[in-house]
Amino acid sequence: MLKEISLGFLLAFLVFLAIAGYDIIPLMVILAALAAMFYFVRSKGLLSGNFETTVASLSRPEVAFSDIGGQNAAINELREALDFIKSFDKIKEMGIRPLKGILLTGPPGTGKTLLAKAAANYTDSAFLAASGSEFIEMYAGVGAQRVRKLFQSAREAALKMKKNNAVIFIDEIEVLGGKRGSTSSHMEYDQTINQLLCEMDGMKVDDRVRLLVLAATNRADMLDTALTRPGRFDRQVKVHLPDKDGRLEILKLHTGNKPLAEDVCLDSVAKECFGFSGAHLESMANEAAILAMREGSKAISYCHFLEAVDKVMMGAKLDRKPSASELKRVAFHETGHAVIGEMVRPGSVSTVTITPRGDALGYIRQTDENDSYMYTKDYLEDRIAVTLAGAVAEELMLGHRSTGAANDFEHAVQAANTIIRSGMSELGVVSLEDIPKDLKHKVLTSIIREQENRVREYLEQSKDLLLQIVDVLLDKEKITGDYLRRVVRAKAA
The residue type found at 103 is L
Looking at beta carbons, which pairs linking 335-338 to residues 24 or more positions away fall under 8 Å?
335/393, 335/466, 335/469, 335/470, 335/473, 336/389, 336/390, 336/391, 336/392, 336/393, 336/394, 336/455, 336/459, 336/466, 337/364, 337/386, 337/387, 337/389, 337/390, 337/393, 338/364, 338/469, 338/484
Biggest CA pair distance of the chain: 111
CB atoms within 10 A of CB 266: 19
The helix/strand/coil state of 112 is helix
CA geometry: angle 53, 59, 60, nearest 5 deg? 100
Q: Read off φ and ψ for residue 195, nearest 5 degrees.
A: -70, -40
Those residues with Cβ within 8 angstroms of residue 477's Cβ, 6 or more apart along the chain or in another chain:
353, 354, 355
Three-state SS annotation for 137-177: CCCCCHHHHHHHHHHHHHHHHHHHCCCCEEEEEEECHHHHC
How many whole angstroms from its chain centre is CA 100? 26
Task: For the beta carbon of residue 188, count every other beta carbon within 10 angstroms.
Answer: 17
- β-pairing, 126-131 vs 54-55, is antiparallel
Q: How many CB atoms lie within 10 A of CB 398?
A: 14
Please identify every residue annotated as catalytic.
334
Count Cα neighbours of 471 within 13 Å in the Cβ-side half-sphere: 7
Q: Is the separation of the CB atoms in 420 and 432 below 8 Å?
A: yes
Contact criterion met (CB below 8 Å) for 142 and 188:
yes
If you ran DSSP here, which 8-state letter would residue 222 be given? Answer: G
